[in-house]
Structure 1
């Protein structure tokens, strides 16, 4: 369910440069690997790719934007899905 949400949101890849389409090709294997890493406590997120985008209404100014790797976004979505109903 988390992967489907991330896939639907689209976006570009993080520091690993893996796109949604590339991740989709290996999604089954990657999701199983991510699941095992989370269960075993060995999961470590990748560094965030930093880009600067123009500020809205201020074309000469830029703000930083962090782009996570697809697998890290899936992990974040899993946590959101589990915690949101509690809160």
Structure 2
């Protein structure tokens, strides 16, 4: 499976988790509390799974490395 296809699949898992958690957290929806709690837990688990899998296929740490490079450059211009 290609990286783009995996990213779409993982985003879909994350979206399902977001929807499930939102339904579980909506006070105006009349469901038994046990079901709402279950939807919330399952939704959070799906979100975590989707995010974890998406991070696993990332093509590098550009989002993390770029700010570090910028701050290193900025701190050197500050002087001793």
TM-score bracket relative to the smaller structure = under 0.3
Q: Which has the higher strand share?
A: 1
Greater Rg by CA: 2
TM-score, normalising length from structure 2? 0.27
